[in-house]
Amino acid sequence: MALLMEAGSEPKTNEEIVDLEAISALKQSAAIELKEQGNEHVKKGKKQYPDAIDCYTRAINQKALSDPETSILYSNRAHVNLLLGNHRRALQDAEEAIKLCPTNVKALYRAIKASLSLNLLAEARSYCKEGLQQSPDNEELKKLAKQIDLKTSEHEQHEAEVSKAVAVAEDLVSAFKDRRIKYGKAMYQELTGNKKPMLDKNNILHWPVLLLYPEVMSSDIIEDFCETDMFSVHLDMMFSESSLPLPWDTENAYTRDAIELYYEADFGVCFSKKEIFGYLLEGTAASHLEKYSAEETDAINRSPYSNGNGPKWVRISERRTLHDVLKNPDLIVPGIPVFYVVSKRSGFYKDFTSGNWTLPTVA
Mean pLDDT of 247-261: 94
Predicted confidence (pLDDT) at residue 299 exceeds the cutoff of 80: no
Nearest to 279 by CA among 197, 221, 177: 197
Distance CA 151, CA 143 (A): 12
CB 196 within 8 A of CB 284: no
Q: How confident is the model at residue 5 (pLDDT cuts 50, 70, 90)?
A: very low
Amino acid identity, residue 49?
A: Y
Predicted confidence (pLDDT) at residue 20 exceeds the cutoff of 70: no
Predicted confidence (pLDDT) at residue 226 exceeds the cutoff of 70: yes
Q: Mapping DSSP to helix (H, G, I), strand (E, B) and coil, where does residue 121 land?
A: helix
Give this prediction's pTM: 0.73
pLDDT tens across 315-336, in order? 999 999 999 999 999 999 999 9
What is the widest separation between alpha-carbon atoms in the chain? 117
CB 336 within 8 A of CB 208: yes
Distances (CA, A) of 200 to 171, 180, 204, 322, 325: 10, 18, 5, 16, 20
Indicate the pairing of strand 332-334 with strand 259-264.
unpaired
Distance CA 39, CA 36 (A): 5
CB 109 within 8 A of CB 141: yes
Predicted confidence (pLDDT) at residue 238 exceeds the cutoff of 50: yes
- Give strand ranges (E) for the chain: 182-184, 198-199, 205-213, 218-226, 259-264, 313-315, 332-334, 338-343
pLDDT tens across 103-156, in order? 999 999 999 999 999 999 999 999 999 999 999 999 999 999 999 999 999 999
Query: Cα-flanking dihedrals φ and ψ of residue 98, to 5°?
Result: -70, -40
